[in-house]
Structure 1
Amino acid sequence: MSPVESAAGSRAAAAVWKAVLLMLASACMFGCMAVVIRLASTQLHPFEIAFFRNLFGLAFALPLLLRHGPGLLKTSKLSLYAFRSAIGIVSMLCGFWAIVNLPLAQAVSLSYSTPLFVTIGAVLVLGEVVRARRWTAVGLGFIGVLLIVRPGADFSPGVLVALCAAALSAAVAISIKFLSRTEKADAIVLYTTLLWVPLSLGPALWVWETPQGIIWLWIVLAGFFGTAGHMCWARALKLGDASMLTPISFLQVPLVAAAGYLLFDERLDLWIGTGAAIIFTANVYIAHREAQLARRAVTDPDISSEPPATR
């Protein structure tokens, strides 16, 4: 192997790990956002919280224009941005409602049926190659989620709302990956936030109540964590496959489960711990395997001819 090939392989593997770390950071940010949404819900309806999350999120995203200049907004994909934002706002409203009305761990766990939809969509829409081992890891991660959710528990309509948010979130992930082929990650974040503000205003006006006291802090933090998480998420999807990265965001589940226990007296039991352990194991394997394949794809031209079952 020549030094050039070795360096190229190392760079490819480093890009995969960078994408993994960005997705992990995104999971932490979104987990914190879920906590402050629940705190703000002591006074505000989730639809109004969603509006303020977008309004303050836009304030935190506007410095991107100072960094890149007005040229950041130049695009030929405005219709795709609009489509992605429309899907995203419905997913957000459903997700916020679930966070407020279901136990935190259950609401976020249900959102992790998303990888199943993402994996299928990544194959059908993006043409990504998802091989047997990654399918297995994603499946194991989903089993971990099911252990946390415990489908045998009493059914409630809120579960359907959370699952709707998850399915729409998968479409959002696919659309971001498609946009990231030609658009800058910062442009995706800024355009999305710009469109989300007016889209979320209408539902908020139906349930409007002026925030009071510390609630202002929670909704400002919701905007910060939401925008920061979105930035990390968009950058991660720019660097790696959607079907690889989405399962990594499972880290959000044990984070919000712990927060629910400590802050809201929600039960933290063996099922949650077992499910989180399975999810973590699956995520570590996915990240490790993809780093190996990225290096081998550069240094070994024949890797593309390997049978999928061996990869």
Structure 2
Amino acid sequence: MLMLGSASLFALMAVCIRLASAQLHPFQITFFRSGFGALFALPLLHGHGWQLLRTPRLGFYIVRCVLGMGGMLAGFWAIVNLPLAEAVALSYSSPLFVTIGAVLFLGEVVRMRRWSAVVAGFIGVLVIVRPGSDAFTGGSLVALLAAALTGAVTISIKSLTGSEPADRIVLLTTLLWIPLSLPAALSVWQWPHAGTWPWLVLSGALGTGGHFCWTRALRLADASLLAPFSYLQLLIVALLAWWIFGEPLDRHTAAGAAIIIAASLYIAWREHRLAHERRQQVAPATSVEPTIWAGRRDQ
């Protein structure tokens, strides 16, 4: 239920961003989404106090937030300038970039089956963007840049969750996004009209709510189990884009999205299988040779 809630909230946030873009540049929308998102995240201080913001890894948070801000700026630009369903479908290529980044930066070993899934996923991307055709635009590349930066953020979150509580990650991230998004917003600044403010407030509330549900869901179940529910976002966005903006779901987008989702689900399933195999290997060793295995693990 939490993952379904997260997917629904992020889908509605995308619609609010598109509605706010009738007056404002995506860079300004990013700033207001960050500001209102931080405001709605402040209740996380309840029960923790201001010590929730104290962390020995502030530098790492800043790097993570710079990457996240780049992804948000590119992603919001894509939502405004591409058909909504296409922008969201391309965002689902993020797990493909995570796999590549895990090899380059985390030293993970990825074997043939997962590499095959990555290749299949990028074939799905090509089906959507159709390079060389009249349908191909630079906006598709911006959407892919957003997906790549989101993949980098995912890798950084994997590192943070090992030592940092989920509430700190959500709150500190949203607070750091405010100053990081301000320079880009000032470059295109204009005051929002009265009719634009509700969409800006909603984008912050929905974004923080979606992030909150997502982090809680990941504490209760494996990512491989939750991944299929996250793809509900594409269905909701496609229906709302058709209903509100009159955007039909392009058959190339639908076909490419199906390939990307299938490849991403296979990668998630393989991650689950490998993690299960590692746990099975650790359990017997810890019960028979606890001292020896502890030494190996430390190495």
Counterpart pick for 2:253 among 272, 277, 285: 272
Q: Secondary structure at the match of 2:46?
A: helix
Change (3 A) 1:228 1:211: same
Change (3 A) 1:66 1:179: same
Are 1:161 and 2:137 counterparts?
no
Paired position in structure 2 for 1:170: 151
Q: CA contact under 8 A between 1:98 and 1:158: conserved in structure 2?
A: yes
Counterpart pick for 1:110 among 81, 84, 90: 90
TM, length-normalised to structure 2: 0.79
Counterpart pick for 2:79 among 87, 93, 99: 99
Per-residue deviation, 1:139: 4.5
Q: How does 1:23-38 map to 2 (within 5 A)?
A: 25-38=5-18
Change (3 A) 1:162 1:287: closer
Counterpart pick for 1:126 among 106, 123, 127: 106
Q: How does 1:266-305 map to 2 (within 5 A)?
A: 266-282=247-263, 298=279
Q: Secondary structure at the match of 2:47?
A: helix
Q: Secondary structure at the match of 1:182?
A: coil
Q: CA contact under 8 A between 2:122 and 2:260: conserved in structure 1?
A: yes
For structure 1, which segment, 82-91 or 66-75, has the greater mean C-alpha deviation from structure 2 after superposition? 66-75
Are 1:74 and 2:64 counterparts?
no
Paired position in structure 1 for 2:130: 150
In structure 2, how many angstroms separate the alpha carbons of the residues matched to 1:247 and 1:115?
A: 13
Q: CA contact under 8 A between 1:110 and 1:162: conserved in structure 2?
A: yes
Paired position in structure 2 for 1:262: 243
Per-residue deviation, 1:185: 1.1
Counterpart pick for 2:174 among 170, 181, 193: 193
Paired position in structure 2 for 1:10: none
For structure 1, which segment, 26-35 or 247-256, has the greater mean C-alpha deviation from structure 2 after superposition? 247-256
Work out the percentage of aligned pairs sharing the same amino acid: 60
Q: Secondary structure at the match of 1:207?
A: coil
Are 1:62 and 2:45 counterparts?
no
Per-residue deviation, 1:51: 0.8
Q: Secondary structure at the match of 1:67?
A: coil
Are 1:231 and 2:212 counterparts?
yes
Per-residue deviation, 1:175: 0.8
Paired position in structure 2 for 1:216: 197
Q: CA contact under 8 A between 1:46 and 1:97: conserved in structure 2?
A: yes
Are 1:48 and 2:28 counterparts?
yes
In structure 1, how many angstroms separate the alpha carbons of the residues matched to 2:264 and 2:8?
A: 15
In structure 2, how many angstroms separate the alpha carbons of the residues matched to 1:131 and 1:22?
A: 32
Paired position in structure 2 for 1:183: 164
In structure 2, how many angstroms separate the alpha carbons of the residues matched to 1:37 and 1:78?
A: 29
**Structure 2 portions without partners, runs of 5+:** 286-299
TM, length-normalised to structure 1: 0.77
Per-residue deviation, 1:63: 0.3
In structure 2, how many angstroms separate the alpha carbons of the residues matched to 1:134 and 1:28?
A: 29
In structure 1, how many angstroms separate the alpha carbons of the residues matched to 2:179 and 2:167?
A: 20
Q: CA contact under 8 A between 2:27 and 2:188: conserved in structure 1?
A: yes
Paired residue type of 1:120: I
Count how many residue pairs are aligned between Structure 1 and Structure 2: 284
Q: CA contact under 8 A between 1:147 and 1:271: conserved in structure 2?
A: yes
In structure 2, how many angstroms separate the alpha carbons of the residues matched to 1:167 and 1:279?
A: 14
In structure 2, how many angstroms separate the alpha carbons of the residues matched to 1:133 and 1:242?
A: 19
Q: Secondary structure at the match of 1:62?
A: helix
